[in-house]
Structure 1
């Protein structure tokens, strides 16, 4: 839309009847003849354009307030002889740019402008808050990168990478350190225990023999004297065995270390079952036929043995098993034992023979024999046949 001009686009009409003689007639008004200067017409704008202003709230678009008329509908009026067209300058291209005002922190909720910056001209060099006029004076000059710059950047990158790796592996390192500390403690304790066990602090200084009845305990301790001063962990069982071989009454033994310096030897003695007559005299043997002692006279308290095949035979083994199964009160009353086979073991108790049979069911046979001897004393009986515990025969 075209904005109407406040002045007429054509000069005012004058009377056609002007004096030709230049007498200075005033026309109809009778005034002096003065020429009024003509003002140029405002710049024409395209229809529908808007006027722009930088005065704050006045930045609005004003349309042509003239009412619509037929003359305007016919098109824009032709310019008059005195009209002048003024070209418009592009918006934002005229004049220098405004200076950049740094932000100042608000004081009591209000932002105070910087007087120095606000009053500085646009083309003045930048200043900082301390009053230095040229901020770019100390800026490094542009120069090409050298090997030192590349090396410095690579070193910084490696350091940053190492920091990130340590940050992300912190938990794993703590868990690994805990495992290492635990294993280290176990190793230290183990090494300390081993070193202490093999040190003189745990060397043998006392030997104790337990379980001897017919054996002399002092003689056994003297035989084991070679173990004195040896650490408990280094006591050799083969040397202990070699020292106890010279004692036939020892059937089994065990060695026990009692820290800090005591060695205990537990002995189970052999149980003699009787004596066997030979040219050398009477030899006391156990159930396995091992000779324990040889004397010229028969040892008291043990029965005489008359077994076919001698020690080491099956009949001798059955005889020894029967003797060891007897109760203590019956064992002391046995005076002789004989057997030709493993199934016909015969005992002599208080002058009466007892046909025991095999070594099977020896515990039951002992109970039946005690009952039979209570019912019929041995001095009144010739033989007790208890080879079958369920059918006792007394003769």
Structure 2
């Protein structure tokens, strides 16, 4: 067994070793903390710099709206659209008021949908999808050219050529005579629709057409209109004589009278 003096030396040695280890651990922890703080400071500085660049870019005259480019408009004059949006000119491109754009374009009934694209440094591209006219509706002594949703695209004192007239039978454009007839017209290819003079829908299951040649077409339900249109087109290509009525109310079955 060792002497007390030797034991005391061992205790002092162990104490010094423990203190050295503690100091080393403190230094290691401090270095890690400094590195984390430095990383946070650098990240914060980068974010502040980016935010400053974005803010300066948003408000800089270099990014002010100077040009409005309209695409897809044919029946709506592009110049009229540019004029309607002219209140946004000079505004920083990222701050163009989407609500003001929507309000301005809503005044054009021919526009069905639109999208906008900001093209730096100063151009706003407006892509237009126009409504497609499909029929005519009598409006007193005038005629309304309408799309499949019943939106009036134009009003003229004489009936526009090339469009069938929908007999509303005293109903409105949200009622069955219009909605059923419009569903059928949308299903017709353009060349076949051009051969329709008028269309009537007493109910959703009782739709009939009159062709420009005077022949009547019993259509039946608005359902399966694509197949019925294909069948009617095939019957018309056969060019039968002395036919006053085509019945395609049952898809795949055609009856000539």
Q: How high is the TM-score relative to the length of structure 2?
A: 0.82
**2:233 is equivalent to residue 370 of structure 1:** yes
1:167 Cα deviation after fit: 5.2
In 2, Cα distance between the equivalents of 1:325 and 1:348?
16
Partner of 2:217: 354
The residue matched to 2:101 in structure 1 has which SS? helix
Q: Match of 1:284?
A: 145
The structure 2 residue matched to 1:315, chosen from 177, 186, 201, is 177
In the TM superposition, what is the alpha-carbon distance from 1:357 to its structure 2 partner? 2.2
- Aligned partner of 1:115 in structure 2 is none
* Cα offset, 1:196, TM superposition: 0.8
2:91 aligned partner: 230
1:1-395 equivalences in 2 (<5 Å) = 165-166=26-27, 168-308=29-169, 309-351=171-213, 352-377=215-240, 380-395=242-257
- Structure 2: how far apart are the matches of 1:275 and 1:296? 12
Secondary structure, aligned partner of 1:178: helix
**Contact 2:73 2:129 (C-alpha < 8 Å) held by counterparts:** yes
Q: Which structure shows the higher helix fraction?
A: 2
Whole-angstrom CA distance in 2 between matches of 1:375 and 1:328: 19
CA distance in 1, matches of 2:249, 2:44: 68
Give the direction of change, closer, same or farther, for the CA distance of 1:168–1:250 in structure 2 (3 Å limit). Answer: closer
CA contact (8 A) 2:227 2:252 kept: no
The structural deviation recorded for 1:261 is 0.7
What corresponds to 1:68 in structure 2? none
Shift of 1:164: 8.2
- What root-mean-square deviation, in Å, do the aligned CA atoms of Structure 1 and Structure 2 show? 2.3
Q: Higher strand share goes to which structure?
A: 2
Ranges in structure 1 where 5+ consecutive residues have no aligned partner = 1-160
Higher Cα radius of gyration: 1
Distance 1:358 1:267 in 2: 34
After TM superposition, give the deviation of residue 277 of structure 1 in Å.
1.8
Deviations along 1:172-194, one digit per CA (max 9) or x if unpaired, are 32133124313431332233123
Q: Could you say if the C-alpha distance between residues 261 and 281 of structure 1 is closer, same or farther in structure 2, counting changes exceeding 3 Å?
A: same
Q: With a CA cutoff of 8 Å and minimum separation of 6, indicate the structure with the bigger relative contact order.
A: 2
Partner secondary structure for residue 102 of structure 2: helix
Q: Secondary structure at the match of 2:90?
A: coil
TM-superposed CA distance for 1:392, in Å, is 2.0
SS in 2 for 1:340: strand
State the alpha-carbon separation in 2 of the partners of residues 370 and 194 from structure 1: 61
Secondary structure of residue in 2 paired with 1:387: strand
SS at match of 2:253: coil
